[in-house]
């Protein structure tokens, strides 16, 4: 009885290359939107945090006080009679009141 060896090495290499190509093409199509979504999520999170700090600092906004403070999240807050401003390295929110009258 003679043993005949089948040559499967070429087929396995071709199959491995096909799978590698499919995985690489899937990653090329999925990775850029994933990075964009993560960046958008981070920016939105920063905007919401800035709005939260602004809201919390506007609750106790008195007309008579003038102060500048720095919160623990690296946000700086400036309050005076006609101005409320919250900022950090990247963005800022500012409200100026020119005149008001109660009737």
pLDDT digits (tens, 9 = 90+) for 77-99: 888 878 888 888 888 888 888 87
Q: Is residue 55 part of a domain?
A: yes
The mean pLDDT of the chain is 82
Q: Is residue 1 part of a domain?
A: no
Q: Looking at the 3D structure of the chain, how many domains does it have?
A: 1
Q: Is residue 54 part of a domain?
A: yes
Range of the domain at 57: 9-96
At residue 96, the pLDDT reads 86
Q: Which of 3-12, 62-71, 72-81 has the highest mean predicted lDDT (pLDDT)?
A: 72-81
Q: Is residue 60 part of a domain?
A: yes
Pairing of strands 76-79, 67-70: antiparallel
State the number of CA atoms in the 13 A half-sphere of 31 facing the CB. Answer: 6
Name the maximum alpha-carbon separation found in the chain. 111
Burial classification of residue 16, based on how many CB atoms lie within 10 Å of its CB (0-12 exposed, 13-18 middle, 19 or more buried): exposed
At residue 3, the pLDDT reads 56
Provide the token pair at 18: 């096909």
User: In this model, does residue 54 exceed pLDDT 80?
Assistant: yes
């Amino acid at each position: 009885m003679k043993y005949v060896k089948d040559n499967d090495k070429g087929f396995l290499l071709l199959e491995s290359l096909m799978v590698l190509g499919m995985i690489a093409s899937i990653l090329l199509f999925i990775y850029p939107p994933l990075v964009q979504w993560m960046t958008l999520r981070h920016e939105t999170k920063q905007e919401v945090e800035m709005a939260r700090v602004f809201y919390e600092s506007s609750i106790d906004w008195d007309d008579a006080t003038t102060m500048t403070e720095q919160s623990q999240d690296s946000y700086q807050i400036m309050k005076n009679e006609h101005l409320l401003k919250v900022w950090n390295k990247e963005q800022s929110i500012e409200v100026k009141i020119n005149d008001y009258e109660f009737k």
